[in-house]
Chain A
Amino acid sequence: MAKMSIDDKLGLDLFYTDEQNPHITINEDYDNAEEIHKVVLACPAGLYHFDDGKLSFSHEGCLECGTCRVLSINKAVKSWDHPPGGAGVMYRQG
């Protein structure tokens, strides 16, 4: 079994992404590298990136687990809500 990239894995899932309305926003200026590293490691969808001291995030591909909220709300994570009704990931197996 060839190792799948995280993007390939997310490609297995069905998403109805509301591109205009991210349900998670980050504090882009947050710079506690140790805290950020935990969030980067923890996100199962690999959506947090910390490159050259800059935190970035995309909500597309979010599995809505809430891990980043619990780890880092009011730190790296500015706001976290569930996506609007019907939007986001749609598990067919679960």
Chain B
Amino acid sequence: MSEEKFDAIIVGGGKAGLTAAYVLANAGLEVLLADRGGFCGAKNVTGGRLYAHSMEKVIPGFADEAPIERKVTHEKISLMTEKSSLDIGFSSSKLSEEPGSASYTILHSKFDQWYAEKCEEAGVMMVPGIRVDSCVVEDGKVVGIDAAGEIMYSDVVILADGVNSLLAQRLGMKQELTTHDVAVGVKEVIKLDEETINQRFGVRGNEGVAWMSAGDPTCGGLGGGFLYTNKDTVSVGIVATLADIGYADISTPDMLDRFKEHPSIKPYIEGGQPIEYSAHLVPEAGIHMVPELVRDGVLLAGDAAGFVVNLGFTVRGMDFAVESGRLAAEAVIRAKEAGDFSKEGLSSYLKALDESFIMKDLNALKGFPTLLSRREMFKDLPEMTEDIFSKLFTVTGKPSMDFVMYVINSLASHLSVAQLTSLVGDIVDAF
């Protein structure tokens, strides 16, 4: 193997790496994909939901053959306190009606194994079970990889090795992650039978639910809770921003246990059997954490590049990963045609990213990381809504205070004028 030189070596068999490999192999390039897991997907965790649009560009109609769990037709977001939950739900057959605007709940390990098979069929040399320790650099140019002393050469290396991209850090393309850049997601997959899920969530057939919540799931700390219905399991978890660990004196596993006991969550998962416990870091800082993306002979894609958008009610990472993997591959194809794998030769990747939804959305939504790092969103706001809505729906027989006055009083007791003004400012900025 060490004698052969590949057109491209891809490190990481997640959504970005597999997409890049698939696109390159279909263009006739010699591609090797290395993954440190025993199989692709073995180290990968999602909440999770895949917005299908970018995958549709790579494999049209993929959902007909890929192991998707359910198509999301029910959206729910909740502001929670310990005893209450203010919910906004939206159900519509319009959601997920068209393949290009659909979203599906998936389980990463299963999906990536399917995608890896597609890559293998396309001619990618799949090498799972090896950890790439470093990129081989000659005269300032990346020319291959070093895995436990075994050197493999290629014209270009695509680093799609995930949020903890030590390879990009070792090359100096990416800084050490900070506690504001990432959150830890902790998840259980809970087995329930298909019919029970349908009954409890009010869905039919392959319809599914995506449910995001904030406030009590992280005990007022930055982050949130999530629940996604799979075919015959439910993915339930919490996501806690690392900078806020210790804000409430509770461990992340206890946070998840507490979330599972929340009066709004428990009835849905009661009696279910946990079958897997997982954890993974989630990039959270959006455009603010995007590293150097191209150097001579090397490109970054997916979580390694920090391509995630978190709006609170919508979290997108996989569609960014797929798109960036495809754009990286197309840039490599152009570089091969021109015979130039220098930073300059690969720079069409940056241009394509700028013209795609990736950079457009990361830029347009750059205010969200600021908004979602405000304490008021996770503590004061949920408490205030509990106060107001309890008042609205409670009848005691005592003469009622004017409701508008009550809302104003509640607002005043939870937020100062300065807080409110700056919060409104951040909301306006975010949108």
Closest chain A residue to B188, Cβ basis? A9
Tell me which residues across on chain A come within 8 A of B182, comparing CB atoms.
Answer: 66, 70
Using a CB–CB cutoff of 8 Å, the interface residues on chain B facing chain A are: 36-39, 41-46, 107-112, 128-131, 147-148, 163-164, 166, 176-179, 181-182, 184, 186, 188-189, 233, 240, 242, 245-246, 249-253, 257, 260, 269-272, 274-281
The count of residues in chain A whose C-beta lies closer than 8 Å to any C-beta of chain B is 40
Contact A84 B131, beta carbon cutoff 8 Å: yes
Q: Is A16 an interface residue (CB 8 A)?
A: yes
Complex A-B, nearest 10 residue pairs according to Cβ-Cβ distance, in ascending order: A94-B109, A94-B108, A44-B279, A86-B129, A9-B277, A85-B130, A66-B164, A63-B279, A85-B131, A65-B279
Contact A40 B279, beta carbon cutoff 8 Å: no
Q: Is A78 an interface residue (CB 8 A)?
A: no
Contact A93 B179, beta carbon cutoff 8 Å: no
Closest chain A residue to B127, Cβ basis? A85
Contact B45 A94, beta carbon cutoff 8 Å: yes
Tell me which residues across on chain B come within 8 A of A88, comparing CB atoms.
Answer: 43
Contact A93 B253, beta carbon cutoff 8 Å: no
Contact A65 B277, beta carbon cutoff 8 Å: no
Tell me which residues across on chain A come within 8 A of B36, comparing CB atoms.
Answer: 82-83, 85-86
- Residue-wise, chain A 1-12 has the 8 Å CB interface mask toward B (1 for contact) of 101101001101
- Report the tally of A-B residue pairs with Cβ distances under 8 A: 143
Q: Within residues 26 to 81 of chain A, which ones have a CB less than 8 A from any CB in chain B?
A: 37-38, 40-46, 63-67, 69-71, 73, 81
Closest chain B residue to A40, Cβ basis? B251
A6-B278 Cα distance, complex, nearest whole Å: 11
Contact A41 B245, beta carbon cutoff 8 Å: yes
B38 to chain A, nearest CB (A): 5
Most chain B CB atoms below 10 A, which of A13, A37, A41, A81 = A41
Contact A92 B277, beta carbon cutoff 8 Å: no
B96 to chain A, nearest CB (A): 22
A79-B188 Cα distance, complex, nearest whole Å: 28
Contact B246 A90, beta carbon cutoff 8 Å: no
If A3-B257, A42-B242, A82-B164 are given as contacts, then 15 extra A-B residue pairs at C-beta distance below 8 Å, sorted by A number, are A4-B274, A10-B277, A13-B277, A37-B246, A38-B245, A41-B250, A63-B279, A67-B242, A70-B281, A85-B129, A89-B42, A89-B278, A92-B276, A93-B110, A93-B275
Known: A38-B245, A86-B38. A46 touches B253 (CB 8 A): yes
A3-B249 Cα distance, complex, nearest whole Å: 20
Partner of A67, one of B184, B260, B275: B184
Closest chain A residue to B273, Cβ basis? A1
Contact B43 A89, beta carbon cutoff 8 Å: yes
B117 to chain A, nearest CB (A): 16
A4-B242 Cα distance, complex, nearest whole Å: 24
Contact B189 A93, beta carbon cutoff 8 Å: yes
A42-B250 Cα distance, complex, nearest whole Å: 9
Contact B189 A44, beta carbon cutoff 8 Å: no
A13-B166 Cα distance, complex, nearest whole Å: 25
